[in-house]
Structure 1
């Protein structure tokens, strides 16, 4: 089968398309005929091996997993032993290792039936970013109806879902993005849109019950001044911060500071679970959430898709069609 592989860490040029063996599903695994995948910042971090801390998990000198890609949507080809929820022919979406390929293996618990009413390319953009947004809004942010929510990075993958999920929970949402992407954020349902080049959204002139800081780099002290006295700050990822731990220094800082201040400062990682996928499916099928797909690239052009993502030109998510 065709797959996008890498043998060394580096820029998009280290990726190449190659013929590799089709994976075989093990116990509790599902083999998927991939119809679409997606690109997000996590793909870049795994490809580049940056920050260096990720290599403790992915391989110190070279990637342990050759095939890239995490988000997947497709059709079940075969199932391994002890799989009871799926059978060949089912349309599914979720998370796996190696979705930039014609076939991919996934654990049964990281998949759900594909939402009705959307295509494979749209579905593939949901799992990582959608589950992260759902956890940020529902679990870490504990958003309830009537609260004021600020979404920093509202036009990106996680942000585009966070705006919609927060609205579905009844919040008044202010989205922050560049002026060129303001129309997208408004179309997602944001009540207000702030162009960060024209206005500092955390200058303290307005206070929010919940701030979702997505892939940002603002200091905690600046973010806290825009919170209500008992407000919640959720830090989702982060960029910059050096080669060793990257933007994770703010997440570590939040953990250390939170017990000593009135604000609740909560770092958030990415976790794709069946129950979260099912919750997103309900929102999608109800019309409350719709994936924002910037464009779709063919498998052979995954390196170009990653370059576009890192250039900051993406509005929502990039899909990979097979």
Structure 2
């Protein structure tokens, strides 16, 4: 089969299209014919090996996952003897970031526990945009922020893959949402349901005090002291992604910055949970959230897809089609 591989850390130029052996599913796995796969910032971490701490999980000197990619949507071609809930012909989707990656290939062997049935109202191309980014948004808002109806929530960095889902999930939970993004995406944020939209190029957040019950910052950007000022008395700030220095700042300095107050500052990492993917499927089929797709690239233009993602200009998700 054909696959996109990375055998050393670097820029998109190190990626290659190779012929590799077809995967053979184990007893609890299914063989999936991949129709489409989406890219996430996590794919850039695996590609570049940055921040360096990530190498302790993904390979210190070179990537241990040769075939990259995490989000898939496709069709079951074969099932192992221990598989109970899926059969050949089922349309499924999954986040493979906890299961060895490998989505950017014609076929992938996936543990049953990683899969969910694809939303019936989405194409494979649309469904591939959902798993990792929407799971991150859902878990960050529901579990870390503990969003409640009527709360005022800021989504800082709202126009990317996680951000566009976060705006919609927060609205589905009944929150009043302020989205912070670049000027060119402000109208799009309103269309997604944001109650208020701020242009991060013009707004001075240091002049806001006690305005938000919760802040979800995708990749950080502001100083912790600024986010602290923005929170109400018992407000919660959660950072998703970002540089190693930003992660350590939130993790180590967050508790110090909030001493003597009811405020909380910290970061968040997604955990795979198929039940959460099913919950998202229900929200999608109820038309409460939808994936936003910026660009779609054919398989042979995979380097262009990664290069575009690396420029940090994407509104929503970047997709690579695997099957014509």
**TM-score bracket relative to the smaller structure:** over 0.9
Q: Establish whether residue 174 from structure 1 lines up as the match of residue 173 from structure 2.
A: no
Find the residue that maps to 2:74 and give its secondary structure.
strand
Q: Using a 3 Å threshold, how does the CA distance of structure 1 residues 190 and 202 change in structure 2: closer, same or farther?
A: farther
**1:206, distance to aligned residue in structure 2 (A):** 5.6
Q: Using a 3 Å threshold, how does the CA distance of structure 1 residues 32 and 251 change in structure 2: closer, same or farther?
A: farther
Corresponding residue number in structure 2 for 1:242: none
1:34-89 deviation line (CA, Å, top 9, x unaligned)? 01100110000001111111111111111111100000110011122422111111
Find the residue that maps to 1:225 and give its secondary structure.
helix
Corresponding residue number in structure 2 for 1:279: 279
Corresponding residue number in structure 2 for 1:249: 248
Corresponding residue number in structure 2 for 1:76: 76
- Please give the alpha-carbon distance, in whole angstroms, between the structure 2 residues aligned to 1:283 and 1:146: 19
Find the residue that maps to 1:253 and give its secondary structure.
helix
Residues 25 and 80 in structure 2, CA contact (< 8 A), matched pair in contact too:
yes
Corresponding residue number in structure 2 for 1:42: 42
1:187-245 deviation line (CA, Å, top 9, x unaligned)? 11101110011112453246100100111222211111000000011111113xxxxx3
- Please give the alpha-carbon distance, in whole angstroms, between the structure 2 residues aligned to 1:119 and 1:173: 28
Superposition pairs of residues 182-193 of structure 1, within 5 angstroms? 182-193=186-197
- Please give the alpha-carbon distance, in whole angstroms, between the structure 1 residues aligned to 2:68 and 2:193: 33
- Please give the alpha-carbon distance, in whole angstroms, between the structure 2 residues aligned to 1:68 and 1:161: 23
Superposition pairs of residues 60-75 of structure 1, within 5 angstroms? 60-75=60-75
Find the residue that maps to 1:63 and give its secondary structure.
coil
1:234-275 deviation line (CA, Å, top 9, x unaligned)? 111113xxxxx3532133225643773421223211223111
* TM-score scaled by length of structure 2: 0.94
- Please give the alpha-carbon distance, in whole angstroms, between the structure 1 residues aligned to 2:258 and 2:222: 20
Q: Establish whether residue 142 from structure 1 lines up as the match of residue 175 from structure 2.
A: no
Find the residue that maps to 1:31 and give its secondary structure.
strand
1:66-122 deviation line (CA, Å, top 9, x unaligned)? 100000110011122422111111100111211011011222222110001111111
Find the residue that maps to 2:315 and give its secondary structure.
coil
Corresponding residue number in structure 2 for 1:237: 241
- Please give the alpha-carbon distance, in whole angstroms, between the structure 1 residues aligned to 2:249 and 2:211: 21
Corresponding residue number in structure 2 for 1:223: 227
Residues 176 and 201 in structure 1, CA contact (< 8 A), matched pair in contact too:
no
- Please give the alpha-carbon distance, in whole angstroms, between the structure 1 residues aligned to 2:226 and 2:103: 38
Corresponding residue number in structure 1 for 2:55: 55
- Please give the alpha-carbon distance, in whole angstroms, between the structure 2 residues aligned to 1:250 and 1:71: 29
Residues 67 and 105 in structure 2, CA contact (< 8 A), matched pair in contact too:
yes
* TM-score scaled by length of structure 1: 0.94
Corresponding residue number in structure 2 for 1:263: 263
- Please give the alpha-carbon distance, in whole angstroms, between the structure 1 residues aligned to 2:164 and 2:285: 17
Q: Establish whether residue 106 from structure 1 lines up as the match of residue 110 from structure 2.
A: yes
Aligned residues: 317
- Please give the alpha-carbon distance, in whole angstroms, between the structure 2 residues aligned to 1:68 and 1:255: 33
Q: Using a 3 Å threshold, how does the CA distance of structure 1 residues 255 and 285 change in structure 2: closer, same or farther?
A: same
| Runs of 5+ consecutive residues of structure 2 not aligned to the other structure | none
Residues 194 and 201 in structure 1, CA contact (< 8 A), matched pair in contact too:
no
Residues 3 and 19 in structure 2, CA contact (< 8 A), matched pair in contact too:
yes
